[in-house]
Amino acid sequence: MHILTGSSCPHPFISAACPICRGSDAPGRTDALATAEAVAAAIDQAVGQPEIVLRDGDLLTRPQALELLQAARKASKSVELWTSGLMLGRPGVVEAVLKAGVTTLALPLYGDSAESHDWVTGQPGHFQRVIAALKRVRALGGKTAVIAPLLRPTFRGLPLLVQKSQALDVSAFRFVALPGPDRASQPLLPSLEMAAPYLRQALQMTVAAKRRASVLDVPPCLLGDRAATVAKETATAIAAQGSQAHEREHGPPCDACTWRPQCRGFLSATTQRFGWAGITARTDAPPTTSVLK
């Protein structure tokens, strides 16, 4: 079964220009779209890993999607797939994806309401499609995760997003800082210092609800005592569309920071727009593993 006959994503936001994804052929990006062979090779190198996450592009836009998912499940007991959710609305796709071995489907919510989410995507009705996909996956016995990007228009709604998502029986939350480049009109990149209090509150609510949480590209000094909360799990990330190098441009971490092994500093896109506001070297002992990078 081929989910699509081509490899380009039909959604203009969840595509090569998506600010969440590293892999892109959009203006301002340097990563070329990865071949299916490159994705398969990365999966082969991950054999035996406890968990694989397929992100940085929507694998379901590839005609080889199910074969690659089956290979990922053979390589690992746990496979998480990041997807826009649009393909999941097609008849039989959710069933096929779960049968191929995906254990968790992660879908993006760009705001806590249809109004805010659809404003970001520019696609009326996309919020309802994501919600319907989350419900469909759970109804079939699969696990779900919410990808919650830190966005300039909606970061204040992160706690409410967590609260509302609990009714959907979501298993995990993936909070993600944007790698850039920013949109020329209607910018999306937020000041992480301003967003951090809302992120910490959302993390606290996630833990209280006994849900898993991870944070991508937010320095641990901005997370306070919540940093240790998200530092208990690791996963092997494989780019579904972009470069397997997983390169995001970062500034260096603080020389004196005790969390230096788990931090690469701010994303360059953030420092270019907002500077290094909020960064302070930590002096407490970090945990042994982290998902803060």
- Domain coordinates of the chain in residue numbers? 36-248
Whether the predicted pLDDT of 13 surpasses 70: no
Looking at per-residue pLDDT, the higher value among 37 and 1 belongs to 37
Decide if 239 contacts 56 (C-beta within 8 A): yes
50 near 78, Cβ under 8 Å? yes
Tokens 């849900």 appear where? 211
Q: Are the CB atoms for 132 and 165 separated by under 8 Å?
A: no
79-82 sheet: strands from edge to edge: 212-216, 172-176, 143-149, 104-108, 79-82, 52-55, 236-239
Q: What pLDDT score was predicted for residue 2?
A: 42
pLDDT of the residue at 10: 35
Average pLDDT for 268-293: 79
Q: Is the pLDDT of residue 8 over 50?
A: no
Tens digit of each residue's pLDDT (9 = 90 or more) over 111-143: 999 999 999 888 889 999 999 999 999 999 999
Return the pLDDT at 74: 96
How high is the pLDDT of residue 291?
Answer: 58
Q: Tell me which of 269 and 222 has the higher pLDDT.
A: 222
Which amino acid is located at 160 in the chain? L
Q: Which residues pair with 260 in a beta bridge?
A: none
Bigger pLDDT: 97 vs 10: 97
Spatial contact of 29 and 181, defined as CB atoms under 8 Å apart = yes
Burial class of residue 7, CB neighbours in 10 A (0-12, 13-18, 19+)? middle
Using one digit for the tens of pLDDT, what is the confidence trace for 19-71? 565 433 344 444 456 788 889 999 999 999 999 999 888 888 888 999 999 99
On average, the pLDDT of the chain sits at 83
- Ranking 29-33, 182-186, 247-251, 282-286 by mean pLDDT, the lowest is 29-33
Average pLDDT over residues 184-190: 85
Please compute the mean of the pLDDT values over residues 167-195 and round it to a whole number. 89
Q: Cα 39 to chain center, whole Å? A: 18
Q: Which two tokens stand for residue 62?
A: 């590839």
Q: What is the DSSP letter of 42?
A: H
Q: What's the CATH architecture for 36-248?
A: Alpha-Beta Horseshoe (3.80)
- pLDDT of residue 171 exceeding 60, the answer is yes
Residue with tokens 């696609």: 123
Please give the Cα distance from 175 to 180 (Å, whole number): 15
DSSP 3-state assignment of 215? strand
CA pair distance 133, 180, nearest whole angstrom: 27
* pTM metric for this prediction: 0.88
For position 136, what pLDDT does the model report?
Answer: 95
HSE, side-chain direction, 13 A CA sphere, residue 192: 29
**Amino acid 4: pLDDT:** 42
- Asked if 160 and 151 count as a contact pair (C-beta separation under 8 A), the reply is no
Q: With CA atoms as reference, report the closest residue to 141 among 181, 99, 194.
A: 99
Give pLDDT tens digits for 143-168. 999 999 999 999 999 999 999 999 99
Count Cβ atoms below 10 Å from residue 274 Cβ, excluding itself: 16
pLDDT of residue 286: 83
For residue 293, give the nearest of 232, 216, 226, 220 by alpha carbon. Answer: 216
